[in-house]
Every structure is written in C-alpha cells, then in structure tokens.
C-alpha cells in the first residue's frame, strides 16, 4: 500500500526574503542559536520538523523537492517565543530587582556621603571640644586662683584685723563677743561684715541719739534747775534711761502731765501753758540743731538736686540703650516720649501737695507757739513768772 504524503508548495519562490518553510541552519541563524542549543530545544519539543514534502516549481514549472526545508518558519518562531516567555518574565522581575537595587545603592551612596560629612563634623566638633576642654580647664584654674584671692580679700586673721582696727588680738576677741566682728571659721573673720559693723558702732558713738539728752540740756529745755529736776525724779515724775541720760520725748510728756495735774488755778494753768510752749520751742530748736529736723529751704534744695539728677539720668538712658543693644529709632522715640511723660508727672504740683501741707502745718505750729509765748510775756501773768 502506497502512503500518500502531504505536499507544501513554497510561495513565494525559493530565493524570496521570507519563506513559509526553512532549514535547521536557517532557523538557527534567524534565532541566534548554536547547533547544540537547537538540538536541545528540539528534544524539548520547542522546534518540530514538518512531515510534509516541501517543493516549489522551477522556471519550467516542474516541481522541485526541498528536503532540507522541513521547519515551518512562523510556527517555530512562535514556539521559541512561548518558550522564552517565562524567562522574559524572570528577566523583567530581575530587571525590577536590579532597578530597586540601583535606587537602594544610590540611597546608600547618599547616606554614605552624609555619613562622611557627619564624620567630618564629628571630627571638627571633637577638635572644638578638645579646645574648649582645655580652655575650661584653664578657666577652672583661674577661677580657683581668683577664689583663693577673693577669700584672702574677704577674710582676715585676728592679727590682721587688730592692725586695721588699731587694737590688739584681745580687743578683736572682745569685739567678736559683742557681735561686731564676725568669725567665719577657727582662724578667719569676715572682713567686710566686721568692718561694716565696726564703722556703724563708730558712727553711733560720734552721732548719739538726739532724743537722748543730759541733765544740763533738760534743764535748759524745761527751764528748771538741776535740783528741781532731781526732786521731780525722786517724786517719780521723771525717770532716767541711764546715768545722766534722759529720754527727751518721754520726759517732756511726763512733765506736761505733771504740770496740768498740779496747776489748778487759771494763773497756774496759764503759767503751765507758757512753760510747756517754751519747752516745745526749745525741743524743736534742739532737734533742729542736732540735725533731726530739716528746714524747708534745705528740703527744697535737696529735692531740686534729686529732680535734676533723675532728669539727666532718664534723658541719657535711651542713648545708652541704643549703643548697648542697637535699638531702632522708633523704639528710642517711644522711650523718649515715655520719659518725658514721667518727668511731666513728677513736675505736677499735686504730687508734692502733701509735703507742702505738712511743712505749712509745722510752720503754723511754730507761729502759734511764738504768739502764745509773746502774749504770755506781755500779760501780767508773764511778768510774775518764777522758776518752779
């Protein structure tokens, strides 16, 4: 039995650019494969030879069989493409991975660059820290030396204090017992505090309390003899604060009470009032003499000097702040306006009305006492005045 084979006629002709069928070598060259690779893929079933007889008609229209052209070009290329599809997907995934790795590499390179810069900064900071540590160590040494010098200035030994206070060590210990000299530890005394207390004691000794007077001054103020003063002391009217020392305010109040209680007649009351007025005037004169009272002119002059000083200081304040803090012109202008407003308030007469009223009240009281004294001298009662 004869087998009938399928036939494939090549169209176009054999030497055309593209043929429906091709040989194994042509397919290898077309796909860029080696013979070994081609055979392996053919065994895997990627490439498959056709069982048909391939022929073409020559110029005389006679069929010519092409035994070597047994691979369908299109079908084998498609089969090879399908075979490469999984590899293509893998390559795409690998490409994505490679791109991600490239981005990661760039990120790492940038981080590495930043790390390098940070390392440089750390090195600079370490150098700066070392410099500052060295300077800090030197400053600590200087501070320790200054503290030692300051301690030497703030404290003194007993011999040093004795030389300064013009006394001996025993005198220093006596002053320490009185609380004048301040001892800081076993060997040293607080120099500033001790000197301040010592100066205060000297000032108190040079400027006694104007309210403390002796017997002679009390006799002059009250117009009494020493014998009468001692009689009234014995009667319990007066009381000494210490030896030959009297409290002026307390003694004067006690004398006023005594005179008003013991003078019953009009003549006695008038005489008592006159004596009390004289005593009050003498007290005021005495206090003014020792510096406890100030005259109105003195107070006015002092207030004027204070006002001028404050005004000059306030007007110079904006220029000082401008140089020191580089303030802007609008801020300086606002500051000047505020200063002028404050000075205008200080110049307001109502601010000093209370002080003026107090000064006038004192002046009126002095005038009343003087008038009362003058009327007593002109009256018959004043002419027959005797000492108590």
In tens, the pLDDT along 76-96 reads 989 999 988 888 888 888 889
Query: Does 245 lie in the same domain as 184?
Result: no
Residues 237 and 356 in one domain: yes
Regarding whether 357 and 217 lie in a shared domain, the answer is yes
- To the nearest whole number, what is the mean pLDDT of the chain? 75
Identify the weakest region by mean pLDDT among 35-44, 51-60, 187-196, 351-360: 351-360
180, 201 contact by CB (below 8 A): yes
Lowest mean pLDDT among 33-47, 80-94, 173-187, 296-310: 296-310
> Is residue 270 scored above 50 in pLDDT?
yes
Among 56, 78, 100, identify where a domain stops: 78
CA 177 – CA 183 distance, rounded (Å): 10
Could you give the percent of the chain with pLDDT greater than 90?
8
Of the candidates 357, 368, 184, 173, the one whose C-alpha atom is nearest the C-alpha of residue 273 is 368
- Tell me, yes or no, whether 20 lies in a domain: yes
Question: Residue 150: inside a domain, yes or no?
Answer: no
Mean pLDDT of 325-334: 78
Contact status, residue 48 vs residue 76, Cβ threshold 8 Å: yes
Same domain, 325 and 371: yes
Domains identified in the chain, total number? 3
Give the predicted TM-score (pTM) of the model: 0.27
Residue that finishes a domain, picked among 33, 60, 78: 78
Domain, as residue range, for 312: 213-383
Domain boundary (78, 95, 120) is at 78
The answer to whether residues 35 and 28 touch, using CB atoms and an 8 Å cutoff, is: yes
Note whether 353 and 231 are same-domain residues.
yes
Residue 242 sits in the same domain as residue 288: yes
- The two beta strands, 155-156 and 189-190, are antiparallel
Task: Provide the 8-state DSSP code for 352.
Answer: G
Whether residues 379 and 252 fall in one domain: yes
Do 337 and 354 fall into the same domain? yes
């Amino acid at each position: 039995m004869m087998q009938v084979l399928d036939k494939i006629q090549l169209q176009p002709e054999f030497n055309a650019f593209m043929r429906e069928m091709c040989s194994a070598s042509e397919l290898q060259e077309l796909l860029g494969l080696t013979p070994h690779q081609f055979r392996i893929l053919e065994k895997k079933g990627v490439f498959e030879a056709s069982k048909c007889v391939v022929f073409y008609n020559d110029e005389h229209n006679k069929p010519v069989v092409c035994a070597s052209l047994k691979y369908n070009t299109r079908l084998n290329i498609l089969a090879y493409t399908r075979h490469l599809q999984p590899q293509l997907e893998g390559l795409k995934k690998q490409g994505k991975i490679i791109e991600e790795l490239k981005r990661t590499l760039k990120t790492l390179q940038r981080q590495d660059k930043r790390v390098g810069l940070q390392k440089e900064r750390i090195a600079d900071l370490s150098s700066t820290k070392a410099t500052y540590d060295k300077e800090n160590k030197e400053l600590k040494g200087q501070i320790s030396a200054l503290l030692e010098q300051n301690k030497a200035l703030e404290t003194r030994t007993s011999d040093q204090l004795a030389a300064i206070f013009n006394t001996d060590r025993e005198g220093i210990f006596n002053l320490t017992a009185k609380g004048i000299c301040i001892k800081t530890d076993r060997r040293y005394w607080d120099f500033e505090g001790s000197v301040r207390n010592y100066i205060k004691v000297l000032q108190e000794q040079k400027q006694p309390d104007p309210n403390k007077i002796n017997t002679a001054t009390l006799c002059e103020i009250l117009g009494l003899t020493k014998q009468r003063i001692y009689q009234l002391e014995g009667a319990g009217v007066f009381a000494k604060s210490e030896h030959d020392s009297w409290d002026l305010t307390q003694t004067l109040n006690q004398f006023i009470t005594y005179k008003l209680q013991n003078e019953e007649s009009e003549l006695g009351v008038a005489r008592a009032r006159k004596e009390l007025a004289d005593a009050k005037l003498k007290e005021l004169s005495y206090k003014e003499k020792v510096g406890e009272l100030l005259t109105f002119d003195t107070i006015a002059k002092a207030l004027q000097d204070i006002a001028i000083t404050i005004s000059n200081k306030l007007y110079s304040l904006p220029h000082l702040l401008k140089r020191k803090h580089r303030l802007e012109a609008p801020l300086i202008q606002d500051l000047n306006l505020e200063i002028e407003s404050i000075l205008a308030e200080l110049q307001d007469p109502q601010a000093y009305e209370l002080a003026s009223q107090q000064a006038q009240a004192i002046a009126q009281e002095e005038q009343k006492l003087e008038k009362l004294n003058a009327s007593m001298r002109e009256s018959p009662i004043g002419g027959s005045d005797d000492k108590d």
